Amino acid sequence: MSEMQSRIAMDDGSSDGPAAPVNRGGDLTQVQLIWRRFRRHRAAMASLVLLGLIVAFAFLGPLVWQWGHTVDSNIPSNAGPSLEHPFGTTKQGNDVFAQTMRGAQQSLKVALTVAVVSTVVGATWGAVAGYYRGRTDAIMMRIADIFLIIPLIVAVASINGAVRGGTTWYAVALIMCLFSWATVARVVRGVVLSLREQEFIEAARAAGARATRIIFRHLLPNAAGPIIVAATLLIAVAVLTEAGLSFIGFGIQPPDISLGKMVEGARTAAFTRPWLFYPPGVLIVLICLTINFIGDGLRDALDPRQTMVRR
Amino acid sequence: MTTTDNFNDGATATVDTDIVLDVQDLSVTFSSEDGPLKAVRGVSYRVRRGEALGIVGESGSGKSVTSMAIMGLLPKSASVSGSARVLGQEVIGLNDAQISKVRGDKIAMIFQDPLTSLNPVYTIGYQIAEAVLTHRKVTKQEARKRAVDLLDKVGIPHPDRRVDQYPHELSGGMRQRVVIAIAMANDPDVIIADEPTTALDVTVQAQVLEALEAARKETGAALVLITHDLGVVAGHVDRVAVMYAGRLVETGSVEDVFYRPRMPYALGLLGSLPRMDEARHERLTPILGTPPSLLDLPAGCGFAPRCPMAQEVCHTSEPALEAAVDGEDDDPFRRHSAACHFSERLVDARPEDLFRTTALDAEAPAELAEAEDTGAAAERRQEEAEAEPGEVLLSAIDLVKNFPIRSKGILRRKIGEVQAVSGISLELREHETLALVGESGCGKSTTARLLLQLIRQTSGEVTYMGQPLHSLSDSQMRPLRRDLQLVFQDPFASLDPRMTVSDIVAEPMQIHGRGKGAKKRVKELLELVGLNPEHGSRYPHEFSGGQRQRIGIARALSLNPKVLILDEPVSALDVSIQAGVINLLEDLQDELGLSYLFVSHDLSVVRHIADRVAVMYLGKIVETGTTEELFDAPAHPYTQALISAIPLPDPVKERTRERIVVTGDVPSPADPPSGCRFRTRCPKFAGELTDEQRNLCVEEPPELLDRGTGHRDACHYSQVVELI
C-alpha cells in the first residue's frame, strides 16, 4: 500500500510542494505565524511601540509624577510651561501634565472597552443573522436598526437621568457600546451573507458541522478584515464621542478628566495658551492613528494569503 | 438527423503564400513585486490567408498574453518587444489611436466570456453597427442592414427581430455568436479567438464552432484559435503550436503534432487526456510536477524539471525550436518543429512508455511489477462488477426539487418554480462508480446535494443502506454524514483560506468527536492522497490546483466514508494535472472499496472512470446503462448529440466522424416543454418523425424503460446509433 501511495505522490508533483516563495511555517503555532507576519508590517510595528508608550504614560505616569490631576493649592494658576509644570497649569490650579496622563488613561479605557464589547457583540449578532438569513435575519437586523436610529446623545441623556449619581468611566463606556455594536453587526452581516455561499461553508455542512462551529470557525475568521476595520474606526469614534458627551455634561465628570474634556475646556485658549490645547489634542490624534495602523497590520497578519509587505 | 462532415476542407488546400499575420520574436514581460515575470519569450509564427492556426497550452503558458500583445490590449506595466505585422504593417509599439485603426478592421478578437464582452445597455444591433461605423463610411441604415445580415450568417434565427434585443435576452451561445458577428463585421484578415467556447456547454460549443467556421468561410480570414482543449484544436485548425512556460515548444500540422509529437510535453499532454474513444482499462499517464513559475524559470529547457527524458544538457541550455524531421520543408513556419534536444528519440514513442516508466524509476525500481498489475486490477474489477452487482448503498426514488421564484419587494410572493430535479430515481451500489452526466442547469449538482440532504427535497425518497434519510432531522443526519462525503468542483473555493491544511483535513474528525488521533491520521491521509505530510502546517493558497483538490479528497476521506459524491472534481484542473487526480481516485477506490457518484459534464472523463452512467436533461434522467452500453449503443437522441459534440483529440477521427447536432439552447427549467422535455431541440423530432408521431412526444412524457437496447432510455422512438 505504501508503494502505491508513493507512486500516487509522484503524479502531479505534489511532493515538491508550492513553487511560490512563501514563508515556511515549520512547526510554528498559529499565534507565532501571525506575529511573524505582523512584525513585517513596519507602520504597525512602529504604532505598536508608540501606543505602548502612550499606555505607559497614561497608566504608569501618574504613579511617579509629583502632581495629581486634581486642583492643588500648591499649584500656581495660569502658569506657562516650566520644568515644574511641563504643560503649564490651568486657571483653577491643575497641573496640565498630570491631567493629560489621567485624561489619556480614562479615554483609553473608554475607547478600548467600547471597541472590544461592541465588536464582539456586533460581530456575533451580524454573523448569526447573516448565517441563518430569512426571518431570523429580519428580526435581528430590525432590532439593530432601532439602536442605529436613536441619537446617542438623546439616549445617553435619558439613561444618565435615570441612573443619577456619579458617571464613572465604565458607565459611559457601556452606554456607548449599546449604541455602537449595531454598526459592526451591519458590516459583518453583509460580509457573512456572501461568505456563506462559498463552497468551504458547504463543505463544513457536508461534514456535519453545527451552526456554532460554522459561525465561529469559518465565517468570523474570514470576516476578520472588515471586523478589524470596524473596530479601529470605533476606537476613534469613541474617543471623540466621549469628548462630545463630556462637553454637554454627560461624559466623565469633574474632578475627573478625559482628553476630550481637556480639549473642550482649552479650545478658546488654542491660540493664546497652546500648551493647554495641544498635548491632549495631539494625544487623541496619536491614539487614533496608531490604532488604525495596528488594525491594518493585524488584518494583513491574519490573512494567510497576504505575502506582500506593505511599508 | 443532421450529419455534418469535415467543414474544414476548404482551408487545408490553401496554397496562397500571402502572409496576413507575421509574429517575430515576440516577448512580453510584466514587472511585478517579485521581479520581472516573463509571460512570453521569443514567440514567432506566421499565419497565411485563410489558414487556421491553433495555439494550445495550459493555464499560464502565455497563449492569451501573446494575442493580447498583438492586439495592443496589454496594460502599460507590460513591456513588449519583438514584432508583429498584420498585412506587413507593424502593430507592436503603435499608439492607441493608430492601433485602433487596425483593431476591429484588419484583425478582430473574440473573447472567452460572452457575458462580459457585450455591453449590457446597448442592443446587439447597435453594437454590431458600431463596429461597422467605426471603420467604414456608411449610413446608419446600411450599418443596421449589415448587422442583420451578419446575425443571419452566424446562425441566429429571426435576425431582423433579434437585432433590437439586448444581450441579456440572449443565451450564452447566442451571445457568443453576436461576438463572432462583431468580429467579422469589417471582413478582417485575421480573427483571433481566445478560448471562444470554454464558457459554453458542449452542445452549444459545437454550434458556436460551426458559426466560427462559417465566419471564416465568409470573410476568408485567417484564424488563430487559442484553447486548452486538444479536441477542439484537432477538428478545427490546419496547424498547431504548443506553448509551454511562455515559449512555443512544438509547431506543425495537426496530423504531425497529434500523431507524431516530437516534444515530450506534447506527447505527455496527449497521454494525460482521457479519451471517449477508448475503453477505460487504460491508465492515464500524467505529467509529473507543475509548470515552472514564470518569475523563476529554470536555466535550461522549461519542461526539463518534469521531463522523464531530461539529461544534463536540458538543465543547462534551452533548446531552440528546430526542424524535427530533416529535409521535409525549408520554411521554418510550415515544417514540423520541436524545441527539444532529443526530439529524434521520440520517433514512435508512446506517452505511456515515456511517462509511466519514469514515474516509477524515480521511486523504487521494485515497484515495476505492481505497476503492470494495475491494468489487470482494473480488468478484474470490471469482471467483478459484471459478475455480481454489489449491495445497494444509496438510492433515490422519484426525487423532486423545485426552487421557488419570488417576486421582488417586501411581499416576496411565490411567482413560479424552477423545476431543478423532476422525478429522479437512481441506485449507487457498493464499490461502483455511477456517473451523472449533463449540461449546466440540468440538475445534476442539485441531485448530488439532495442525496446528501444538504438541501431538502420537495418530494421523493432517499435511502442509505435501507435507512430513509429524507425524514431525518439535521441532528439525526449528522452521524450518517461520516459515511457520505462530498468533494467539490472548485479547489480554490472549497477550502477555508484561513485554516491550515491539517486543520482542514482534521475538521470532520473533530466534528464527529474523533479529535484524539487526528494529528497522526492527517499525516496518513495527506500521504495517501500523494501530498507531503510535512506540509500540513501550510495554508491552501500555497498549493496548486491539483494539490488543493487532493486536500479536498483527503478531507472527504478522513472519516472512512463508504460513499464519495464527487461534484465535477476535475473540471477546474489543467489536463496534465487532471490525469493525476483521476488516477488517484481510481487507486483510492481499489484500495478503500469506495463507491463514487461522479457528477460531470465531461463525457471523456466519465467514459474513463465510470461503471454506470445516467444522462440528465432538464431535471430528468433520459438514459442510463453501463458505460459500455451507453457509449457503444446510445439510444436517446440527447445522449447521441452529447457524444457527438465532445471533440476527439484525433484530427482524422474528429473530421470524419458522424455527428448528431442539436440546435438551440436548453429551455428554462422554470417552464419546461410539455411531454418529452428534449423535444424542442430533438433532431429526431425535427427531422424524422411524422406529425402523428410527434403528438406523442408533445403530449406524453416518455418513461425510462428498456426498449430492447439492453439498457433504459426515455425516448418514445429510441434507436441505437453507433457514434464512436
Same domain for B188 and B90:
yes
CB contact (8 A) between residue B541 and residue A304: yes
Nearest CA of chain B to the CA of A233: how many Å?
24
Q: How confident is the model at residue A41 (pLDDT cuts 50, 70, 90)?
A: confident
Q: How many CB atoms lie within 10 A of CB B590?
A: 16
Interface probe, candidates A2, A4, A10, A11, chain B, greatest B C-beta count within 10 A: A11
pLDDT at A2 over 70: no
Beta strand segments in chain A, E: none
Where do we find the cell 458547504?
A202
Chosen from B283, B489, B512, B537 to mutate, greatest number of chain A CBs within 10 A = B537
Residue B708 CB partners (closer than 8 Å, separation 6+): none
Which candidate from A8, A12, A25 shows the least CB-CB separation from B587? A8
Whether B692 is in a domain gets the answer no
**Residue count of chain B:** 724
User: Is A17–B478 a contact, with Cβ atoms under 8 angstroms apart?
Assistant: no
Residues B301 and B310: beta-carbon distance below 8 Å? yes
Residue B67: CB atoms within 10 Å? 22
By C-alpha distance, the chain B residue nearest A208 is: B478
User: Which of B558, B576, B599 is the C-terminal boundary of a domain?
Assistant: B558
- CB within 8 Å of chain A, chain B residues 435-464: 452, 454
Residues B30, B60 within the same domain: yes
Do B158 and B277 lie in one domain? The reply is no
- Whether B474 and B541 map to the same domain: the answer is yes
Lookup: cell for B581: 487526480
Whether A22 and A307 have beta carbons less than 8 Å apart is answered as yes
- Of the three residues B535, B558, B581, the one that is the final residue of a domain is B558
Q: Which of A56, A62, A55 is nearest to A98 (CA)?
A: A62
Pairs of residues, one from chain A and one from chain B, whose beta carbons lie less than 8 Å apart? 167
B387 lies in some domain: no
Residue A308, amino acid: M
Residue A126 within any structural domain of the chain: yes
Task: Nearest by CB to A213, from B359, B511, B531: name it.
Answer: B511
DSSP annotation of B345 reads: G
**Is position A90 within any domain?**
no
Distance CA A146, CA A127 (A): 18
Q: Per the domain annotation, does A4 fall within a domain? A: no
Instruction: Give the count of domains, chain B.
Output: 3
Say if B466 falls within a structural domain: yes
Query: Measured between CB atoms, does B473 come within 8 Å of chain A?
Result: no
Residue A12 has pLDDT above 70, yes or no: no
Q: How far apart are CA A168 and CA A166, in angstroms?
A: 6
B362 contact residues in A (CB cutoff 8 A): 10
| CA A228-A231-A235 angle, 5° bins | 140
Rounded to a whole number of angstroms, the distance from the CA of B541 to the nearest CA of chain A is: 6
- Which residues from chain B sit within 8 angstroms of residue A4, using beta carbons? 370, 587, 591
Report pLDDT digits (tens) over A81-92. 777 777 777 777
Domain final residue pick, B540, B558, B576: B558
Inspect the interface and report whether the beta carbons of B498 and A28 lie closer than 8 Å: no
Residue A135, pLDDT > 90, answer no
Q: What is the dihedral of CA B429, B433, B438, B443, to 10 degrees?
A: 50
Residues in chain B predicted with pLDDT less than 50, given as ranges, are: 1-16, 358-375
Q: 3-state class of B170 per DSSP?
A: coil
Name the residue among B47, B38, B44, B53 with its Cα closest to residue B17.
Answer: B47
- A129–chain B nearest CA distance, Å: 18
Tell me the chain B residues in contact with residue A217 when contact means C-beta distances shorter than 8 Å. Answer: 499, 507
CB A200 to CB B550 under 8 A? no
**What local confidence, expressed as pLDDT, does residue A160 receive?**
65
- Looking at the fold, whether B121 and B222 belong to one and the same domain comes out as yes
DSSP string, A202-223: HHHHHTT--HHHIIIIIIHHHT
Contact predicate B424/B461, CB 8 Å: no
User: What is the pairing mode between strands B222-227 and B392-406?
Assistant: unpaired
What CATH number corresponds to the domain at position A170? 1.10.3720.10
Q: In terms of domains, do B215 and B283 share one?
A: no
For the whole model, what pTM was predicted? Answer: 0.80
Domain that holds residue B529: 392-558
Domain assignment present for A80: no
B240 and B318 housed in the same domain: no
DSSP letter string over B585-596?
A: HHHHHHHH--EE
CA-CA distances (angstroms) from residue B231 to A199, B254, B264?
A: 30, 11, 19
C-alpha–C-alpha distance, residues B704 and B715, integer Å: 8
Cβ neighbour number for residue B187 with a 10 Å cutoff: 14
Chain B nearest C-alpha distance from A309 (Å): 10
CA B451 to chain centre: 26
Alpha helical stretches, state H, B567-679: 575-592, 603-609, 627-632, 637-645, 651-656
What DSSP designation does A76 have?
P
DSSP string, A108-141: HHHHHHHHHHHHHHHHHHHHHHHHH-HHHHHHHH
Alpha-carbon torsion B486, B490, B491, B493, what sign?
negative
- B631, part of any domain: no
What is the average pLDDT value for chain B, to the nearest integer? 84
For residue A138, give the chain B residue with the closest CA.
Answer: B410
C-alpha cell at A302: 491574519
- Tell me, what amino acid is at A265? G
In a domain, A211, yes or no: yes
Instruction: Indicate yes or no: CB of A18 within 8 angstroms of CB of B538.
Output: yes
Same domain, B411 and B358: no
Query: Could you tell me if residue A109 is inside a domain?
Result: yes
Residue whose C-alpha cell is 495527506: B526
* Cell numbers given for A145: 436598526
- The answer as to whether B670 is a domain residue is no
Residue A20: list chain B partners with CB under 8 A.
293, 542
Say if residue B467 is in the same domain as residue B504: yes
Gap between the Cα atoms of B49 and B185, Å rounded: 18
Same domain, B287 and B435: no
pLDDT at A78 over 80: no
Q: Is B310 a member of any domain? A: yes
ipTM of the complex: 0.77
- What does the pLDDT read at residue A191? 92
Name the closest residue on chain A to residue B297, using Cα atoms: A19
Q: Is residue B289 located within the same domain as residue B212? A: no
Q: Do A207 and B511 touch (CB under 8 A)?
A: yes
Looking at the complex, does the CB of residue B498 fall below 8 Å from at least one CB of chain A?
yes
Q: Which residue has 489536463 as its cell numbers?
A: B575
> A14 in a domain, yes or no?
no
pLDDT of residue B372: 43
Q: Report in angstroms the alpha-carbon separations of B271 from A17, B288, B386, B645.
A: 24, 12, 28, 21
DSSP state of B636: S
The number of domains in chain A is 1
Q: Where are the alpha helices (DSSP H) in chain A?
A: 2-10, 30-39, 42-59, 61-64, 96-132, 134-149, 152-162, 169-178, 181-195, 199-206, 211-213, 220-222, 224-247, 259-266, 274-302
Same domain, B289 and B236: no
Domain that holds residue A245: 102-295
User: Residue B23: which CATH number?
Assistant: 3.40.50.300
Structural domain contains residue A202 = yes
- B634 within 8 A of B648, measured Cβ to Cβ: no
Identify the residue whose cell numbers are 513588449: B80
